[in-house]
Amino acid sequence: MSLLSVEDTVLMIIDMQGNLYESMQDKQFLSENVRKLVRGMQVFGIPVIVTEQIPEKLGPTIPPVASLLPDTRGIPKADFSCCGDEKIMKALKAADRRQVLLCGIEAHVCVYQTAIDLLGFGYEVHLVADAVSSRTVMNREIGIEKMRDEGAHLASTEMVLFELVRTAEDPNFREIFKIVK
């Protein structure tokens, strides 16, 4: 494993949607960290892929996240794993990045199955553990543990942002510091 690099990283936001989001544990903390990640990716110019599980039933991406990404449309899917959807995989291939940051919901279903499939395809998966949730704490914890056991690297929102900026002398440091404080 290597440190995250701006040139090789992509962020995948999984199913941060209305009805589903409303039933998540610690949803405010989740939303806040996903928003920090998005703002950080924008500072670095890192691509962001947004997915939506059956949006006609579960609703669109929540406004606090969608409002930060006015030019990014959520890619609808039915499969739990994002890798089961041709449009999502096409977007990932088009990004041409090997380090995939995962955040979103639910940790033990869609995020977990996506992580396992991405690892199988040879991607380096970085799970932003403070930016994933499930309806229950136990499901979240088990999902994170299984992803780590299978080879996903655990990180936190701040850890990811500071890993990408690397030095206080980076021109983006001040902007990243504003995001995390």
Architecture of the CATH domain 6-180: 3-Layer(aba) Sandwich (3.40)
Query: Could you give the dihedral angle defined by the CA atoms of residues 147, 27, 78 and 91, in that order, rounded to the nearest 10 degrees?
Result: -70
User: Of these residues, 77, 83, 85, 103, which one is catalytic?
Assistant: 77
- 181 among known catalytic residues: no
DSSP assignments along 81-119, one per residue: SGGG-HHHHHHHHHHT-SEEEEEEE-IIIIIHHHHHHHH
**Residue 103 among the catalytic residues:** no
Q: Residue 86: what pLDDT? A: 96
Tell whether the model's pLDDT for residue 152 goes beyond 80: yes
Q: Does pLDDT of 157 surpass 90?
A: yes
1 pLDDT more than 80? no
Has this prediction a pTM greater than 0.85?
yes
Q: From the candidates 82, 83, 103, 110, which is the catalytic residue?
A: 110
Q: If pLDDT is split at 50, 70 and 90, which confidence band does 32 have?
A: very high
| Between 18 and 37, residue with greater pLDDT | 37
Identify the pLDDT of residue 2. Answer: 81
The residue annotated as part of the active site, out of 15, 85, 117, 130, is: 15
Instruction: Give the Cα separation of 59 and 181 in Å (integer).
Output: 31
Q: List Cβ neighbours of 123 (8 Å cut-off, separation of 6 or more).
A: 98, 99, 100
Distance CA 147, CA 127 (A): 8
Mean pLDDT taken over the chain: 96
Tokens describing residue 77: 């899917």
| 2 vs 90, more confident | 90
Give percent helix, percent strand, percent coil of the chain, each to the nearest 5.
Answer: 50, 20, 30
The percentage of residues in the chain with a pLDDT greater than 70, rounded to a whole number, is 99
Confidence of residue 53 (pLDDT cuts 50, 70, 90): very high
Domain residues of the chain, as ranges?
Answer: 6-180
What's residue 19's pLDDT? Answer: 86
Catalytic (active site) residue 79: no
Q: Is the pLDDT of residue 142 over 80?
A: yes
Partners of 76 in beta bridges: 52
